């Protein structure tokens, strides 16, 4: 069984994340979207809200699971028997950052990181820009799946 985890903060899920997850469904038997818990980080959306947004967006996709985890991503991969880490690449800055993490993970484990280039129409979207738009009462709904709504 080819199982990949897609780790991130998903604060909130964006159309960019959505695109990567949907496209990866054909590559793996199971995609585990894994929301990392970092006690030092301040989030706009609670863990429950972030999880619900993703579950609702993929309710018709049996291969997509949503979980939360703490600690090292590679340790969590071993725990749930995931052989792959999936990441999206938007631009050269993402590449440099992801390269260092992927090499480190490879040094510490046998887990392979698989990168998908983001779709050109969503490559400019980031959760931090979405949060900025929300804070300033902009129309964030153009940047996120329908399941993501501010109460
Ligand atoms: P992190 O806190 O790890 O950066 P994010 O939730 O921002 O978590 O991102 C998780 C993953 O989604 C990363 O691999 C990131 O490159 C990817 N990603 C973020 N935004 C986009 C986008 N617009 N298109 C495709 N992938 C994206």
pLDDT per residue as tens digits for the range 40-85:
999 999 999 999 999 999 999 999 999 999 999 999 999 999 999 9
Question: Is 61 marked active-site?
Answer: no
In whole angstroms, give the CA distance from residue 99 to residue 91: 12
Residue of 113, 37, 31, 41 whose CA lies nearest to 66: 31
What is the whole-number distance in angstroms between the Cα of residue 35 and the centre of ligand 1?
11
Residue 150 has pLDDT above 90, yes or no: yes
Taking all residues of the chain, what is their mean pLDDT, rounded to a whole number?
A: 97
What is the whole-number distance in angstroms between the Cα of residue 17 and the centre of ligand 1?
6
Helix (H) or strand (E) holding 72: none
Neighbours of 97 (CB within 10 A): 12
Best of 13, 31, 89, 90 for a ligand 1 pocket test (most atoms within 8 Å of beta carbon): 90
- For ligand 1, atom 14: residue with the closest CA: 87
In whole angstroms, give the CA distance from residue 116 to residue 136: 31
pTM of the predicted structure, to 2 decimals: 0.94
- Across 127-146, average pLDDT: 98
Here the tokens at position 131 are 């949060």
Predicted local confidence at residue 151, as pLDDT: 85
First-last CA distance in the chain: 38
- Across 4-18, average pLDDT: 98
Domains and CATH numbers, the chain: 3-142 (3.40.50.620)
């Amino acid at each position: 069984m080819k199982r990949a985890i897609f780790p991130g903060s998903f604060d909130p899920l964006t159309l960019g994340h959505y695109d990567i997850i949907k496209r990866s469904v054909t590559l793996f038997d199971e995609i585990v979207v894994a929301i990392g818990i970092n006690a030092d980080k301040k989030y706009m959306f609670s863990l429950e809200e972030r999880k619900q947004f993703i579950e609702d967006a993929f309710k018709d996709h049996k291969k997509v699971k949503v979980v939360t985890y703490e600690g090292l991503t590679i340790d969590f991969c071993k725990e749930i028997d995931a052989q792959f880490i999936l990441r999206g690449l938007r631009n050269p800055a993402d590449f440099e950052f992801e390269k260092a993490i992927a090499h480190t993970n490879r040094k510490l484990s046998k887990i392979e990181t698989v990168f998908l280039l983001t779709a050109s129409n969503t490559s400019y979207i980031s959760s931090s820009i979405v949060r900025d738009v929300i804070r300033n009462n902009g129309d964030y709904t153009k940047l996120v799946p329908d399941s993501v709504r501010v109460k």
